[in-house]
Amino acid sequence: MDTTIVKEHKISPTLTLLALAVSAFAIGSTEFISVGVMPLIIKTFHVSLATAGLTVSVYAASVMIGAPVFTSLTSRIPRKALLLSIMITFIIGNLITAIALIFPILLAGRVVAAFAHGLFMSVATVIAASVVYPMKRVSAIATMFTGLTVATVTGVPLGTFIGQRASWRISFVVIAVIGLIGLISNAILVPKELPMPAKIQRGSLMRMIKAPVVLLSLIVTADGYGASFPVYSYMTTIIADQGWSDSASVIILIAYGLAVAVGNTVGGRVANAKPLKVLMMMFAAMIPMMLLILVGLQAQIFGLILILIMGLLAFMNVPGLQLFTMQAAEKYTPNDVQMASAFNIAAFNLGIMIGSYVGGIVADGAGLYLTPIAGSVMAAIALGLTWLLSRLHTA
């Protein structure tokens, strides 16, 4: 796929990236909001912690499935029209969640929103890369992903605050409204004339499976990104168990989000030249951090500090993981870059699904404070696989 600029656009690329970031903010808010309102969902539907955790893992599984499937089915639809349809679907999904009277309907709403999420991230990543010059692609992608990190800074804490003060249902209504703002922003600020991706050919999945570097990069994305989610998925519950008040928990979530935003920004800047080397350093740092959290989480102040440091590392790997997968696809499966982007979005959410699910099992079976064990194991595996990936890529 040619991601270079094919003609001059009247709309500034900066404004286009801003519109995409607004939509990504809405999507990031809905992806992680269930982390913040999970105690309220448990109270409303009288379900266990592990069952409530399905609001995270089922959402992630739906993104994982929806990203490649719907990317393939919609590959011939003009990019802007597709983008607007995605946002409409996203709004509907959140409204279904907001009015759900039984837990399965809530999950159904999450699935609808997640299908929109998966396709959005695949399409928006390519749009972001297509409106800037090649040497600025990783920064453009990082800018678009900033919407996700800002959602972690403000969207999730805001949704949690609204849920605590009014209702978790109102939190999802607010997210739908933000999605509407994203829809309007995209309608105004995203150019109509965008390069269409190369026609998706049959057998793209098999070609990526047969390309060891591409396949392994997807596995690294899933495992490495998911390493923080055994802890993060249940962070609000952990914070409450540590004795923090509802107001304090909102402030803590904001602080965590700020740490995530800083980490994502740093990751976008340092991963341009040698993404694999930088990723190995990030995963290596995550292992001792998780072990420290394991021994220090029950201490209120020290545990809080460790959680914030985890936030610094949690999303730092996102730009590098996304960039390297696209680079690998361009080199080894050049006809499948669009699908590689979709599968990498799926891989991110596979990591969330695995991390949150394993974390739920550990929390219910062994205890909430032992969830960092799963995170450290996932980080160690990611480090080893990234080292192997670097060897294959340079061979």
pLDDT score at 87 = 96
> Measured between alpha carbons, how far is 49 from 41 in angstroms, rounded to an integer?
10
Residue 106 has pLDDT above 60, yes or no: yes
Question: If you write DSSP's letter for every residue of 325-390 in order, what string do you get?
Answer: HHHHHHHH-GGGHHHHHHHHHHHHHHHHHHHHHHHHHHHHHT-GGGHHHHHHHHHHHHHHHHHHHH
Whether 156 has a pLDDT exceeding 80, the answer reads no
pLDDT at 148 over 80: no
Tokens at residue 52, please? 């409530």
Q: What is the pLDDT of residue 233?
A: 84
Domains located in the chain, CATH noted: 12-199 (1.20.1250.20), 203-394 (1.20.1250.20)
Count of CB atoms situated within 10 Å of the CB of 9: 17
Q: How confident is the model at residue 287 (pLDDT cuts 50, 70, 90)?
A: very high
Least confident residue range of 64-68, 134-138, 212-216: 134-138
Provide the sign of the torsion angle of the four alpha carbons 319, 139, 326, 65, taken in this order.
Answer: positive
Would you say the pTM of this structure is higher than 0.85? no
- Cα–Cα distance, 60 to 197 (Å, whole number): 25
The fraction of the chain above a pLDDT of 90, given in percent, is 35
- CB-facing half-sphere around the CA of 389: CA atoms within 13 A: 28
Mean pLDDT in the chain? Answer: 86
CB 45 within 8 A of CB 97: no
- C-alpha to C-alpha distance for 349 and 117, rounded to whole angstroms: 10
User: Among 290, 292, 270, which residue's Cα sits nearest to residue 281?
Assistant: 270
For the chain, how long is the longest CA-to-CA vector? 58
| Side-chain-side CA neighbours of residue 153 (13 Å) | 16
pLDDT digits (tens, 9 = 90+) for 256-277: 888 888 888 888 788 777 889 9
Sequence-distant (≥ 6) Cβ neighbours of residue 22 within 8 angstroms: 147, 178, 181, 182, 185
pLDDT above 50 (res 46): yes
Q: What is the pLDDT of residue 2?
A: 44
192-238 pLDDT tens trace:
877 776 666 677 778 888 899 999 999 999 999 999 999 988 888 88
3-class SS at 131?
coil
Q: For the chain, how are helix, strand and coil distributed in percent, rounded to 5?
A: 85, 0, 15
Binned at pLDDT 50, 70 and 90, residue 116 comes out as: very high
